Structure 1
Amino acid sequence: MAVPGLDAYDVRRPAHPGTDYDIAVVVDAARRRWVVRAPVHPAAGAALEAEVELLDGLGRASEDGALPFAVPRPVGFAHLPEGGRAAVHAEIPGTALDVAELAPGPGLCAAIGRAIASVHELPTSVVENAGLPVYDAEAYRVRRQAEVDEAARTGKVPPTLLRRWEERLEDVALWRFRPTVVHGDLTNERILVHDGDVSGILHWGDASVADPADDLSWLLVAATPDAADSIMEAYQLRRTELIDPHLTDRALLAGELALARWLLYGVRTGNADVVDDAVSMLEDLDEHTRTPVDAELPTAPVAIASSYA
């Protein structure tokens, strides 16, 4: 048994299963709910093992009040016949954040801003001790440049969009930032909300020490401008660092570059549907960011795909 003494009473599956993990909710005889995550391929298994190490440090930060929300705390493991192991943790109360319902002001928007800022305020050692990636600002810029170069080689990114990205990646001033702990794949599905507050953040397998802008990009795209302003105000108030003047610029750029990574994911996996979807979104972005003189190009909202980086 993964959890000694657990008397399973019922097993339930999520309505929208993911592609990396087989997830089930087990209800025991005392009506307690447990989440079982089993990796479905070796890469997911390796990510889960790294995440388990990280969650130990994050859990202590939550207990100490450094994080104002809960994180999954594995309490047991079950070895899988095909190799690897599944992790079991108590279910965190809450439902996935509905960005469309975010209203500006001191309520949930502020709670989200504070929650993300608290992650970025953690000591980087919590990631380093788990053996997860650590980047300085220049190394991270070079990494993003390499992704753009690889996307360019597919021949599927509009030339004006490539030029736009290259100009921003070559702007050294834009990339002067202090790397922080980042979640790395933050979306509405990762954030749990309960009683009008952030109750938990899930799926930490892509965590690293990198650009804090990456954790904010999806919100700046998906939330209304007023809600995004409330989130950013609360975020900045929670941070102890001097204000990063280019944080929003990099966050919006990160949203665009997520489309390049979505394209690369489709190409690498041979998934024609993903490639077509990425190409369509890249063409839309190119159309929205063009000007007749192709001068300074404002960033336009686009859908953000998961990083797959």
Structure 2
Amino acid sequence: MPRSPLTLAALATAAVPGLDVRSARPAPDPGDYDAAVVTDGEGARWTVRAPRSLQAGAALEAETELLASLQHYVASGVLSFAVPRISGSAPLPEGGRAVVHPAVEGAPLDVEGLRPGPGLAADLGRVIASVHELPRRVVDDAGLPTYDAETYRERRMAELDEAAATGRVPAALLRRWEAALEDVSLWRFQPVVVHGDLGPDQVLVSRGRVTTVTGWADARVADPADDLAWLLVSAPPEAVDSVMEAYQLRRTELTDQHLTDRALLIGELAVARWLLHGVRHGLDDVVADALDMLAELEDATREADD
């Protein structure tokens, strides 16, 4: 049974000595966690999260370890944005723990509102590049996964095979994706630290700058295109140019000739992954949404090919 905001508030007071909670409300988009935002006696807001499963608990432990390592790079200026700073934790009766951190500041990124130039779009490119420049040991030390390029390509192929087995993916898209995944030259990249789940809700902005990046549970060493795909398929094309120019200037020794091609491909494959999510969990509304997206993508790629 999900924990109520009041239960989570009690865990927060146990996790942070002296925390005087005055109110609590559900946190938006909690994912695999019970989450609440609590307000203390001085008006400061805190976020408390408790995992709903053993798998979520393991992910939370790894994320907590990673966040502790990232604080060094925030403090030294290597990262120009903040990440959640864990202030305390409280054990859960079934095992694992709830964690508490000060609520992060900023508004979710308005991707469609991005404009070209040296402002937010360029800052976003630099932010993503700075993550990709982090040493791989921050992921290794947190016990998060590391992949080489060939293994990662094989994972993508396995996902496509599973999507094809549903019989729901248009044949033209399957042929297009299979050809790209079989082109080994496209997948010659240097694995780097990636956030792994970037999106508007994880990138918080204020006054035209990225202020905070949240949601690090899926961080890994993998394909840098993973962190760029969502932007390339959803941001205005003129803003994408500014993002990529700033990204490339911030990266050192970037020789990946097919980075943009893979990012666009991964953006398309995300629709197949959405379909699989709906099929695996029996979510008819998700399946229907994915099928609509696949039909739109098939039409768009046909027009582009023509």
Deviations 1:213-264 (A, max 9, x none): 0100111111101111111111111000234211110000001111111111
**Aligned position for 1:301:** none
**Aligned position for 1:230:** 242
Q: Describe the SS at the equivalent of 1:106.
A: coil
**Aligned position for 1:7:** 20
Query: Is residue 130 from structure 1 mapped to residue 142 from structure 2 by the alignment?
Result: yes
Quick one: which of 60, 69, 80 aligns to 1:48?
A: 60
Q: Is the 8 A contact 2:85 2:102 kept in 1?
A: yes
Give the TM-score normalised by the residue count of structure 1.
Answer: 0.91
Query: Is residue 87 from structure 1 mapped to residue 102 from structure 2 by the alignment?
Result: no
Q: Describe the SS at the equivalent of 1:5.
A: coil
Q: Describe the SS at the equivalent of 1:189.
A: coil
Give the TM-score normalised by the residue count of structure 2.
Answer: 0.92
Percent identity, aligned pairs only, is: 62
Q: Is the 8 A contact 1:106 1:230 kept in 2?
A: yes
Deviations 1:86-119 (A, max 9, x none): 1101122211111122111101111111100000
User: Deviation of residue 10 (structure 1)?
Assistant: 2.1
**Aligned position for 2:159:** 147
User: Deviation of residue 170 (structure 1)?
Assistant: 0.8
User: Deviation of residue 28 (structure 1)?
Assistant: 1.3
Query: Is residue 179 from structure 1 mapped to residue 191 from structure 2 by the alignment?
Result: yes
Structure 1 unaligned residues grouped into runs of 5+: 299-309
User: Deviation of residue 297 (structure 1)?
Assistant: 4.2
Quick one: which of 292, 299, 302 aligns to 1:280?
A: 292
User: Deviation of residue 82 (structure 1)?
Assistant: 4.2
User: Deviation of residue 56 (structure 1)?
Assistant: 1.2
Is the deviation greater in 247-256 or in 260-269? 260-269
Paired letter, 1:138: E
Tell me how far apart the structure 2 counterparts of residues 271 and 242 of structure 1 sit (CA, whole Å).
41
Structure 2 unaligned residues grouped into runs of 5+: 1-13
Deviations 1:107-160 (A, max 9, x none): 111111110000000001110111111001111001101100111111111111
Paired letter, 2:69: G
Paired letter, 1:31: G
Tell me how far apart the structure 2 counterparts of residues 154 and 24 of structure 1 sit (CA, whole Å).
37
Q: Is the 8 A contact 2:149 2:223 kept in 1?
A: yes
**Aligned position for 1:105:** 117
Is the deviation greater in 34-43 or in 132-141? 34-43
**RMSD of aligned C-alpha atoms?**
1.5
Deviations 1:173-227 (A, max 9, x none): 1101100000111001100112221111001001100000010011111110111
Query: Is residue 190 from structure 1 mapped to residue 202 from structure 2 by the alignment?
Result: yes
Tell me how far apart the structure 2 counterparts of residues 23 and 211 of structure 1 sit (CA, whole Å).
30
Paired letter, 2:143: G
Q: Is the 8 A contact 1:164 1:297 kept in 2?
A: no
Tell me how far apart the structure 2 counterparts of residues 12 and 270 of structure 1 sit (CA, whole Å).
29
Query: Is residue 246 from structure 1 mapped to residue 258 from structure 2 by the alignment?
Result: yes
Query: Is residue 114 from structure 1 mapped to residue 126 from structure 2 by the alignment?
Result: yes
Quick one: which of 205, 211, 223 aligns to 1:211?
A: 223
User: Deviation of residue 17 (structure 1)?
Assistant: 3.1
**Aligned position for 2:87:** 75
Paired letter, 1:2: A
Is the deviation greater in 212-221 or in 277-286? 277-286
